[in-house]
């Protein structure tokens, strides 16, 4: 059986990293042995100089927005959306969605991301990009307004792709409270329950959304989530949650609910600081995401982990908040659970063989030892150190080469499509 050999292995289940071989069978880790003991083919030889971590999960993004990167910079959220983003989105074709998704998948694979949660449209194209690239994803069709045709499209996406190759889950994607009227949201929730699907929803990204719930809907956020039935769906992915009141967290500290923290997008759009310290202390599962490339502008989870860890220390005037281990838990296993892949997220027997191999043979890792791996990864590490990305035991990226993608073709198609959109 193939093995990743002689690696320094860390996941959130370990206090200290350990050297070992990771033996893989049928896409799963079959055992973790002492270093240099595994027999059979070598998938990657770490030679004692690479770290292996569980694959990173980007738990909220819009991959095809890589084609919109850099447009409408430094505008307020609603002006940015209405003047710059929505008019171009109205013109995006299925081909544009595919070339943008391929570009994002290429960027993420090279940075150790093994799974992402995506909300957009023409999602069949994103699904094809996922299947061909070898990545894992949680996909939904964004559902703005009250539109039965779009909901039917989302349900057809689920019919076609939910569970496909064990690498795709499909959720329903009501866009946000400012675009979806409550009766339409309730119909989407009913459909999710009927088909046993999860929901992926933008939740209280801006203060305006909290104000509209209170002033127009006359309801508190936790009561809205409860009374619409959202809390009862299979997996509820709530993106942003910047303005979720800290006295209403017990309602969302549930096994089926994941808050996705998107700190760089929230800072760039001036949306505010999510109260991460209180989310964590209340027992809410928090994952990390980049949001789309038009508001980040990177799809780099290393960048996101470092930024999240620093931001909340500064905001709380407390260096003990958002520790490196907690942040990596958010970026790995919490993202896996939130996106419906509960058998991923750890480097141990019985878990899916999704991992990132990181070069320690570089200046940033001098001083890294089995006792301080997460701190080195979060504070000193960089996506530039990624040597290989593995999903289901298959190498997608190795030593600068893409094994499943034609990177030149993807760059050419994306450049052409970007040019045609902004001409």
Residues engaged in binding Ni ion (CB under 5 A): 291
Distance (Å, whole) CA 274 – CA 344? 27
Q: Which residue is nearest to Ni ion (CB)?
A: 291
DSSP state of 346: S
**Helix, strand or coil, per DSSP, at residue 250:** helix
* Closer CB to Ni ion, 209 or 291, in the complex: 291
Minimum gap (Å) between residue 376 Cβ and Ni ion: 30
In 3D, which of 206, 140, 141, 138 has the Cα closest to residue 177? Answer: 206
* Closer CB to Ni ion, 291 or 359, in the complex: 291
Minimum gap (Å) between residue 175 Cβ and Ni ion: 9
Minimum gap (Å) between residue 207 Cβ and Ni ion: 17
Distance (Å, whole) CA 354 – CA 388? 11
Complete DSSP assignment for 79-121 = HIIIIIIHHHHTT--HHHHHHHHHHHHHHHHTTTEEEEEEEES
Virtual torsion, Cα 50, 18, 372, 362, nearest 10 deg: -10
In 3D, which of 216, 202, 149 has the Cα closest to residue 174? Answer: 202
Minimum gap (Å) between residue 296 Cβ and Ni ion: 10
* Closer CB to Ni ion, 11 or 291, in the complex: 291
* Closer CB to Ni ion, 168 or 176, in the complex: 176
* Closer CB to Ni ion, 161 or 201, in the complex: 201
Minimum gap (Å) between residue 23 Cβ and Ni ion: 38
Contact between 55 and 389 under an 8 Å Cβ cutoff? The reply is yes
* Closer CB to Ni ion, 60 or 329, in the complex: 60
Complete DSSP assignment for 220-238 = -HHHHHHHTTGGGSS-EEE
Minimum gap (Å) between residue 12 Cβ and Ni ion: 26
Minimum gap (Å) between residue 313 Cβ and Ni ion: 25
* Closer CB to Ni ion, 271 or 332, in the complex: 271
Helical axes 182-195 vs 148-161, angle rounded to 10°: 20
* DSSP H/E element including 126: helix 123-133
Minimum gap (Å) between residue 60 Cβ and Ni ion: 6
Minimum gap (Å) between residue 62 Cβ and Ni ion: 6
CA angle at 167 for the pair 163 and 172, rounded to the nearest 5°:
55
In 3D, which of 229, 212, 337, 329 has the Cα closest to residue 276? Answer: 329
Distance (Å, whole) CA 119 – CA 291? 10
* Closer CB to Ni ion, 117 or 170, in the complex: 117
Minimum gap (Å) between residue 119 Cβ and Ni ion: 6
* DSSP H/E element including 390: strand 386-391
* Closer CB to Ni ion, 291 or 417, in the complex: 291
* CA dist 103 → 92, 120, 135, 390, 406 (Å): 15, 15, 13, 18, 10
Q: Write out 25-43 in H/E/C secondary structure.
A: ECCEEEEEECCCCCCCCEE
* Closer CB to Ni ion, 134 or 292, in the complex: 292
């Amino acid at each position: 059986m193939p093995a990743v050999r002689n690696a320094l292995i860390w996941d959130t289940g370990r206090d200290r990293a350990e050297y070992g071989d990771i033996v893989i069978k049928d896409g799963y880790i079959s055992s973790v042995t002492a270093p240099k003991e595994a027999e059979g083919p070598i998938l990657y030889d770490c030679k004692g100089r690479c770290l292996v971590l569980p694959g990173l999960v980007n738990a909220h993004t819009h991959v095809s927005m890589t084609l919109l990167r850099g447009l409408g910079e430094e505008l307020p959220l609603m002006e940015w959306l209405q003047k710059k983003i929505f008019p171009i989105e109205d013109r995006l074709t299925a081909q544009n969605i595919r070339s943008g998704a391929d570009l994002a998948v290429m960027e993420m694979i090279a940075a150790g991301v093994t799974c992402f949660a995506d909300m957009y449209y023409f999602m069949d194209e994103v699904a094809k990009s996922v299947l061909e690239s070898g990545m894992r994803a949680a996909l939904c069709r964004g559902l703005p307004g009250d539109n039965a045709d779009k909901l039917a499209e989302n349900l057809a996406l689920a019919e076609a792709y939910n569970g496909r190759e064990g690498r795709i889950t499909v959720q329903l994607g009501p866009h946000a409270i400012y675009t979806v009227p409550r009766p339409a949201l309730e119909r989407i929730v009913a459909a999710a329950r009927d088909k046993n699907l999860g929901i992926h929803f933008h939740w209280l990204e801006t203060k305006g959304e909290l104000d509209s719930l209170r002033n127009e809907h006359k309801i508190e956020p936790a009561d809205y989530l409860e009374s619409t039935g959202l809390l009862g769906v299979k997996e509820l992915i709530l993106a942003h949650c910047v303005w979720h009141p800290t006295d209403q967290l017990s309602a969302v500290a549930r096994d089926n609910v994941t808050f996705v923290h998107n700190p760089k997008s929230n800072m760039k759009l001036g949306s505010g600081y999510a109260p991460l310290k209180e989310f964590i202390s209340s027992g809410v599962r928090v994952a990390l995401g980049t949001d789309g490339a038009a508001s980040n502008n990177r799809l780099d989870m290393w960048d996101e982990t470092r930024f999240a860890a620093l931001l909340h220390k500064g905001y709380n005037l407390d260096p003990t908040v958002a520790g490196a281990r907690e942040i990596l838990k958010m970026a790995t296993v919490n993202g896996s659970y939130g996106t419906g892949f509960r058998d991923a997220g750890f480097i141990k027997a019985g878990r899916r063989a999704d991992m990132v191999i990181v070069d320690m043979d570089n200046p940033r890792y001098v001083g890294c030892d089995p006792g301080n791996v997460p701190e080195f990864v979060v504070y000193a590490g960089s996506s530039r150190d990624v040597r290989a990305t593995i999903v289901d035991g298959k190498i997608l990226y190795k030593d600068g080469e893409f094994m499943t993608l034609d990177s030149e073709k993807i760059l050419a198609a994306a450049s052409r499509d970007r040019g045609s959109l902004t001409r």
